């Protein structure tokens, strides 16, 4: 690790200026692309707004509750098939998380929430108007296929030593699960609180917990990877799914068309097939 | 550049200071702005008025306590196994060493969430190791505080290892040769000569390791889940608070920032001192 004077000498004498110049050029390019990237991100989908009258085009960005992943995925494909040139982009997460990103100015066209309360918070903030309820969902207990802990019903969830995953309270699936626990007058001590319903489902699928409280539609979507234990109607709780176009939707025309598709007979069919109830 | 090289330069041959060249100053200023503006944002948008009531929420202190305890435990474990590993990587000679060197630093480049999934597949209830822990000892790791420590150690250990291994490779081997010539065995040489020689780097590596551990999010939420007081560390609390109560998220961030700055400042002199040596 000695100082190589000869090499320093050579570098200074020869192309000493070429290096900084190419570096400058490179950094200028980086800076320009970064700037371009910024404006791009800010105006994602804005170009889509300039549609031909009557038709719709561009991208429609849909923020939807995690429990809608499968059914909205299908609805998106149908919508794209019916409207060539339009592509649907989804962001599936906890409704509360999506509402927060909308409040922070995330460029979305449509919001579909797993609870009216979450949707109301977005409406109150002035970010959405006239939400319409398009589906309802009830809860079910998901257990690994072999049901290692022998869970048979809600009362079992309070059993000491049983590892249970539920959604955290601020997420619709968490507050709905809590309603069920309250009805059954039990206290559940969860092993983990999922940030959204799919996180709870994953914990069950991996066999890391003995049971998880998820939506009926999640059990159906998971197929043979989990076993569902139904909760009797009187002891169950349900949540309603409202959908709305956002007031700052970059592509308002396509947003309205997508909402119409969800509310259409075709849309209802897909949702019913997935296990949702009609409102 | 090693400290020895700098010492060899006499004041007369030291490079002239002059005005700093603008092709360096301008990008440097951009970098400073880029790093500081978000922190300023945090301070400006902090809910100063409701801060006292936010801070009285026991959840904040539970998460902070958990973060400090788990990060310190992770650093302790990293020291116990990481310094010997660094010695092996720097001093031992055996086939496959280069591969080993690459493998142990893999968590540095691995996305932490992937690390969390890998930990689940290894130490989860159905994992390749975890299933036996469960069957033989009735021990399940996921969703416990131990899982948090494991996740943090997994991502933070390589930071300590590369810092210490680098210092060991750069250390003058003559001290160890002298020690050997005086009749000391390798273990004594390591304890009495090598370790004191690289002590500053061990400290710097520990600080890096601790800082990485306290900021750990992806592997932790994947492997350890989220439960207040048990596995909900500060970064997870910040992330989840952002979904329901952004003010609380900013408060939590401020607390974490204050604690991190406090610890870094209290160690700063030593790090600045050793940082250039490695």
B166-207 confidence digits (pLDDT tens): 999 998 889 989 998 999 898 999 999 999 999 999 999 999
**Nearest-CA residue of chain B relative to A28?**
B27
Q: How far apart are CA A137 and CA A114, in angstroms?
A: 9
Q: How far apart are CA A146 and CA A157, in angstroms?
A: 17
- Residue-level pLDDT at B138: 86
This complex has an ipTM of 0.74
Question: pLDDT per residue over A177-217, tens digit each?
Answer: 999 999 999 999 999 999 989 999 999 999 999 999 999 99
Q: How far apart are CA B13 and CA A228, in angstroms?
A: 78
Taking the CA of residue B152 and the nearest CA in chain A, the distance in Å comes to 18
Contact B225 A97 (CB under 8 A): no
Q: Angle, nearest 10°, between helix axes B58-91 and B246-275?
A: 30
Note whether residue B200 is domain-resident.
yes
- Residue-level pLDDT at B231: 93
Cα–Cα distances (Å) from A92 to A6, A71, A213, in that order, read 60, 12, 19
Q: Which domain holds residue B133?
A: 55-275
Question: pLDDT per residue over B243-255, tens digit each?
Answer: 778 888 898 999 9
* The model's pTM: 0.78
> Considering chain B, what percentage of its residues have pLDDT values greater than 70?
90
Provide the pLDDT confidence category of residue B11 given band limits of 50, 70 and 90.
low
Note whether residue B261 is domain-resident.
yes
Buried b (16+ CB within 10 A) or exposed e, B108-146: eebebeebbbbbbeebbbebeebeebbeeeeebbbbbbb
Which residues, given as ranges, of chain A have pLDDT below 70? 1-54
Instruction: Say how many C-beta atoms besides its own lie within 10 A of residue A186's C-beta.
Output: 14
Where are the CATH 3.40.190.10 domain residues in chain A?
A: 56-136+240-273, 137-238
Note whether residue B15 is domain-resident.
no
Taking the CA of residue A249 and the nearest CA in chain B, the distance in Å comes to 21
Query: How many domains, chain B?
Result: 1
Which of these, A98, A61, A56, A95, lies nearest to A76 by C-alpha position?
A61
The domain defined by A56-136+240-273 carries CATH number 3.40.50.300: no
Which of these, B227, B212, B184, B203, lies nearest to B275 by C-alpha position?
B203
Contact B243 A100 (CB under 8 A): yes
**Nearest-CA residue of chain A relative to B227?**
A192
Which of these, B153, B157, B149, lies nearest to B104 by C-alpha position?
B157
B11 to chain A, any CB pair closer than 8 A? The answer is no
The domain defined by A137-238 carries CATH number 3.40.50.2300: no
- Residue-level pLDDT at A219: 95
- Residue-level pLDDT at B265: 82
**Residue B92 pLDDT greater than 90, yes or no:** no
Q: What does residue A195 show for φ and ψ, rounded to 5 degrees?
A: -65, -25
Contact B126 A208 (CB under 8 A): yes
Q: Which residues pair with A128 in a beta bridge?
A: A246
């Amino acid at each position: 690790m000695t100082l190589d004077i000869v090499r320093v000498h050579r570098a200074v004498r020869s192309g000493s200026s070429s290096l900084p110049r190419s570096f400058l050029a490179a950094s200028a390019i980086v800076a320009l692309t970064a700037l371009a990237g910024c404006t791009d991100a800010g105006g994602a989908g804005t170009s889509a707004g300039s549609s031909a009258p009557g038709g719709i085009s561009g991208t429609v960005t849909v923020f939807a509750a995690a429990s809608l992943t499968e059914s909205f995925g299908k609805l998106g494909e149908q919508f794209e098939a019916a409207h060539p040139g339009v592509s649907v982009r989804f962001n599936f997460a906890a409704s509360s998380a999506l509402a927060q990103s909308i409040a922070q100015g995330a460029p979305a066209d449509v919001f579909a929430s797993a609870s009216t309360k979450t949707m109301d918070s977005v409406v109150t903030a002035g970010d959405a108007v006239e939400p319409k309820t398009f589906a309802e969902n009830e809860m079910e207990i998901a257990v690994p296929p072999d049901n290692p802990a022998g869970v048979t019903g809600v009362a079992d969830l309070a059993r000491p030593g049983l590892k249970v995953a539920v959604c955290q309270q601020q997420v619709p699936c968490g507050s709905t699960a809590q309603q069920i626990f309250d009805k059954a007058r039990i206290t559940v001590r969860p092993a983990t609180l999922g940030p959204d319903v799919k996180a709870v489902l994953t914990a069950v699928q991996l066999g890391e917990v003995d049971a998880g409280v998820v939506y009926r539609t999640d059990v159906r979507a998971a197929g043979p990877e989990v076993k569902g234990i139904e909760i009797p109607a009187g002891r169950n709780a349900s949540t309603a799914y409202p959908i709305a176009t956002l007031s700052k939707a970059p592509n308002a025309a396509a947003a309205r068309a997508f909402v119409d598709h969800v509310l259409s007979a075709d849309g209802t069919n897909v949702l019913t097939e997935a296990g949702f109830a009609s409102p | 550049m090693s400290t020895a090289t700098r010492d060899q330069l006499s004041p007369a041959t030291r490079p002239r200071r002059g005005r700093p060249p603008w092709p360096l100053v301008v990008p440097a200023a951009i970098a400073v702005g880029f790093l500081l503006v978000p922190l300023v944002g945090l301070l400006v948008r902090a809910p100063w008025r409701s801060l006292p009531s936010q801070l009285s929420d026991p959840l904040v202190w539970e998460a902070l306590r958990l973060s400090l305890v788990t990060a310190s435990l992770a650093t302790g474990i990293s020291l116990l196994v990481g310094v010997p590993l660094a010695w092996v990587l720097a001093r031992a000679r055996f086939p496959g060493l280069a591969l080993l060197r690459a493998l142990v630093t893999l968590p540095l480049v691995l996305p932490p969430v992937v690390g969390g999934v890998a930990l689940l597949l290894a130490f989860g209830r159905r994992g390749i190791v975890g299933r036996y822990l469960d069957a033989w000892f009735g021990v399940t790791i996921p969703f416990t505080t131990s899982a948090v420590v494991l996740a943090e150690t997994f991502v933070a250990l390589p930071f300590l290892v590369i810092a210490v291994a680098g210092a060991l490779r750069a250390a003058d081997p003559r001290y160890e040769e002298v020690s050997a010539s005086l009749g000391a065995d390798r273990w004594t040489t390591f304890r009495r000569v090598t370790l004191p020689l690289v002590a500053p780097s061990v400290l710097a590596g520990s600080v890096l390791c601790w800082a990485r551990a306290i900021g750990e999010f992806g592997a932790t939420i994947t492997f350890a889940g989220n439960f207040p007081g048990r596995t909900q560390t500060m970064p997870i609390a910040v992330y989840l608070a952002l979904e329901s109560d952004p003010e609380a998220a900013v408060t939590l961030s401020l607390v974490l920032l204050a604690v991190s700055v406090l610890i870094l400042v209290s160690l700063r002199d030593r790090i600045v001192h050793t940082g250039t040596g490695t």
